[in-house]
Amino acid sequence: MKNNKRIPPDDLDEIIPMLISIWRRFHKLPGPEDRLQTREFRSVVAAVIALQERHGAGNVVKEYDYFDDRELVGAYLLYDWILHYMQGLSLINELPTTPKRVLDVCSGPGAFGFAAMRHGAEEVIALDRNRLALDLAGEAFGRYGYTLTARKWNAQRRSLDIEGKFDLIIVGHALEELFPSDEKGWQEEQYRFLNDLLSRLTDNGYLLLVENSQLSSNQRILVLRDHYVKEGVPVQAPCVWRGECPALKAKKSPCYAQREFERPYLIREIQRAARIKQSSLKMSYLILRNPQAAWPKLPERPMYRVISPAVQGIDSDRYYLCGTNGKKMLESKITDDTKTARAFGYLKRGELIAVDNVQKDEGRFVLTKDSILTVEAALGKPLPEVG
């Protein structure tokens, strides 16, 4: 049955002025606490551009910590933090239950942990090698009335010494820095690291991995997904297909998530000044269950993730799907204004759908006037599990 969990309000109208106030105190600058002045804005834009360049494909340097640079960590707080927080709000809502005890690994200033708190988490522990970033996380949590346990920890130098199990463990935008793909044995190290995290989950716990949507980052997540599926680790989201990932069989074929994002003024202005073309949230993600848990039990009918935006065809738009019985393509031959035609026209990448009474032709589904299309899980919603 459908799970009607709702994403908490983002409260950016309150959170962004709070972040600006923290940024101003961090840099020891006088001025209004709820907005940037012209010179300050320009300095933030310059630092955001520098961050974008460092995060570009192939630009990751192991052991380099850009959070040591006060300009860069300040810019992160006013730009990337907001995007990562919004990603966290959406992705954590795909869990069927609210996680109570959360571990935010390589947390930086704590955007994902903050999102977990907004979802109702009772305890968040943030781990990062950078004390400056942890202090900023603690201040953001404290100003909003939350409690954060922050611990300095370098994942590349020592094992995790922390007690207890967790309902949710998050590794957000950190794997490429922890395990650069140009280093010998990086995949084995990455598997050992993630296996350790999986062993720390409660019986109903989840491991959330998030990276950007660039091809190299996306393929890292897809390869991890295939590895753990072969190892028998159940996937909560986004995949409902249990075979080998079709996207990995085609060269340069990404499969990432996209969420609508009503960008606040600060984000719009930074993107305009930095010439960043990004009007939505794009990310690669994987949610794994405890290895001893079962796969999500879905209704006994084929279901499919929409894995592309609308692609213009000769007669109609088409969407690519990946579902419980593999990869498909969906088209429509409906000419009348029917409920199914409208549903087809408003499909979004990432939705989970079911289709009935369709024409089938070698991996292609065609909607006709007798077809039925239903959205089984909207964006940011849990799977419609049964039993």
pLDDT classification of 150: cutoffs 50, 70, 90: very high
Tell me: pLDDT of 57 over 80: no
Q: In angstroms, what is the C-alpha Rg of the chain?
A: 21
- The whole-number pLDDT of residue 251 equals 80
For the chain, the domain total comes to 2
What is the C-alpha separation between 164 and 315, in angstroms, rounded? 57
Lowest-pLDDT range of 71-80, 211-220, 330-339, 366-375 = 330-339
The C-alpha torsion from 81 through 85 and 86 to 88, rounded to 10°, is 140
Both 175 and 258 in one domain: the answer is yes
Mean pLDDT of 302-312: 94
- The whole-number pLDDT of residue 63 equals 53
Tell me: pLDDT of 331 over 80: yes
Both 342 and 236 in one domain: the answer is no
Domain that holds residue 341: 304-377
Q: Is 343 part of any domain?
A: yes
- The whole-number pLDDT of residue 307 equals 96
CATH number of the domain within which 365 lies: 2.40.50
Query: Token digits for 134?
Result: 């942890």
Tell me: pLDDT of 22 over 60: yes
Both 252 and 105 in one domain: the answer is yes
Distance of CA 353 to the CA centre of its chain: 20
Tell me: pLDDT of 32 over 70: yes
pLDDT classification of 252: cutoffs 50, 70, 90: confident
Both 260 and 319 in one domain: the answer is no
CA distance from start to end of the chain: 9
Q: pLDDT over 90 for what percent of the chain?
A: 84
Could you say which DSSP state residue 58 is in? T
What is the C-alpha separation between 115 and 124, in angstroms, rounded? 10
Mean pLDDT of 130-154: 96
- The whole-number pLDDT of residue 89 equals 98
Tell me: pLDDT of 60 over 60: no
- The whole-number pLDDT of residue 316 equals 79
Q: Is 188 part of any domain?
A: yes
Classify strands 326-332 and 101-105 as parallel, antiparallel or unpaired: unpaired
